[in-house]
Structures are given as C-alpha cells and as structure tokens.
Amino acid sequence: MAGRLKIDILTLFPEMFELFNLSIIGRAKKNGIIEINTHNIRDYTIDKHKKTDDYPYGGGAGMVMTPQPLVDSIRDIKKRNKGKVIFLGPRGKTFDQETAKELSTREEIIIVCGHYEGIDERVYKYIDEEYSLGDFVLTGGEMACIPMVDSICRMIPGVLSKSESYEEESFYSGLLEYPQYTRPEEFENEKVPEVLLSGHHENIRKWRRKQALKITKVRRKDLFDKLTMTKEDKKLLKDDQL
C-alpha cells in the first residue's frame, strides 16, 4: 500500500536512518501511512575508488562533495519521485513547525544530505528548496535530516494515535507546552495542582492555556511577541485565580 507521503533520502550513510524502522515512525511505515527510502550517493559515482568528494579549487580546509554523483542520484530518483528536491544546508530557511506542517501535506519529497565542507556550487540548480536547523555546525546533513523527517511525519494523520498528541504540544500553536503531571499525586512534598484533579474540563483548559502563555513569555519571549493574543488570553494572564 502506498504511503500518504513518500520521502527519498540521498545520503552517504543510509544506515543512519535505520532508526525510522522503530517506534512511531516504524509503525507508520508498516501501516503504509508513510514511505521512507534511503539511497547511497556513493552508488552513483563513476570514480573507480567510489570517491564522492575532492579538494576545493582555490585551496582551503576540508573537502567538497563532487557534482557528478549528486546530480546523477537526483536525476535517477526523480524518475520515481516527482517531489521537490530539498537540500539541508546553512543557506537555507530555518526549519520550524510551520515548515513541518506544510511539508507534511505533500505527497512526495526528495531530501539531499550534504557532507564535508558542502556541495559543489553547480549542484544548486538541481535543488528546489534549502533548510537549516539553525546557526550551528553539524557533522553532516544526516544529523539534520533525522529530526526534520520525524517532525514532518508525525504531523500526518494516522501517524500518532490522536490529533491532540501534536495539537497541544510545544510550538504547534506558537506556544510552549503547559506543565504536565502524572501519578503519584504527591511527590517529595509537591502536589499536583488542584485544578487538574477537579474534573472541571473548562477550568483545566483555561489553566493550561494560562500556563502555556506564562511559560512562553518567560522562556521564549521571541515566540510570545509573535503571538496574536485573544481577549481570553489577556484576561487569563491577569487572572490570579488560575
């Protein structure tokens, strides 16, 4: 059965993605909700030593991925996947929850994992979109690809058991998540807030919303400042009863 989303990943280290056969994503693959395929870029090189990198023209530290195996691998996968080609690199737009939502609505995606000091500039004309996880350096595109694919897949209906599993999580609504508690009711002299034990669903909803607002304001002011506050939000922040 074909998945609702097909992802083809071009990488030098396909074994790194075996973790997608486990847990929630693995179950979704077995159920035919998503399809994740990995392809070794090294299989496409015409170099007799299977090299996929070389020294940069003009000098400098490190190695650069050569264009031939990258371009040939993209061309080959495009025969079976008509989705946009996504490259994970430092020039890209910062990947966030909104991006994950949008990508999860597509039918097909091709992801190219870079390595070494980057890719030959002539490969970029085969790239449709580029994303970065942030302003820090990783050892390879695989390290960025894994959390990106996970965040995309979990947004697809049927991957998680209930829609609430992601709709109330941090970042989904633009806020950090409210505090969570479970048994025991009291631990090291600290009790679960009474409102969560009340069974009053509306009061619980308001309490959770207020806590999410407060936590986001303190810990992620950048997110809070982007939030469009409702009348209820403003009232909740002023209400000392919750």
Dump pLDDT digits (tens) for 80-128: 999 999 999 989 999 999 999 999 999 999 999 998 889 999 999 999 9
Burial classification of residue 7, based on how many CB atoms lie within 10 Å of its CB (0-12 exposed, 13-18 middle, 19 or more buried): buried
Specify the pLDDT at position 197. Answer: 95
A 10 A CB-CB count for 226 gives 10
Q: Which fold has domain 5-153?
A: Alpha/beta knot (3.40.1280)
A 10 A CB-CB count for 156 gives 18
For the ranges 44-48, 199-203, 237-241, which has the lowest average pLDDT? 237-241
Q: Is 136 annotated as a binding residue?
A: yes
Query: Exposure string (b/e) for 14-50, b if CB count within 10 Å is 16 or more?
Result: bebbeebeeeebeebbeeebbbbebbbbbebbeeeee
Q: Is 138 annotated as a binding residue?
A: yes
pLDDT in tens, 7-25: 999 999 999 999 999 999 9
Backbone angles phi, psi at 234, to 5 degrees: -65, -40
Mean pLDDT of the region 63-87: 97
Q: Is 225 annotated as a binding residue?
A: no
Q: Which fold has domain 168-238?
A: Trp Operon Repressor; Chain A (1.10.1270)
Q: How far apart are alpha carbons 22 and 52 in whole angstroms? A: 30
Specify the pLDDT at position 1. Answer: 42
A 10 A CB-CB count for 114 gives 26
Residues of the chain with CATH 1.10.1270.20: 168-238
Residues of the chain with CATH 3.40.1280.10: 5-153
Q: Token pair of 163, please? A: 């829609």
Q: What is the pTM of this model?
A: 0.83
Specify the pLDDT at position 65. Answer: 96
Q: Is 60 annotated as a binding residue?
A: no
Q: Is the confidence at residue 166, as pLDDT, over 70?
A: no
Q: How far apart are alpha carbons 5 and 34 in whole angstroms? A: 5
CB 139 within 8 A of CB 38: no
Mean of per-residue pLDDT scores for the chain: 92
Q: How far apart are the first and last CA of the chain?
A: 49
Q: How far apart are alpha carbons 26 and 9 in whole angstroms? A: 16
Estimate to the nearest angstrom the gap between the alpha carbon of 169 and the chain centroid. 14
Q: Is the confidence at residue 164, as pLDDT, over 50?
A: no
Mean pLDDT of the region 127-154: 95
Q: Is 95 annotated as a binding residue?
A: no
Q: Is the confidence at residue 172, as pLDDT, over 80?
A: no
Q: How far apart are alpha carbons 113 and 116 in whole angstroms? A: 10
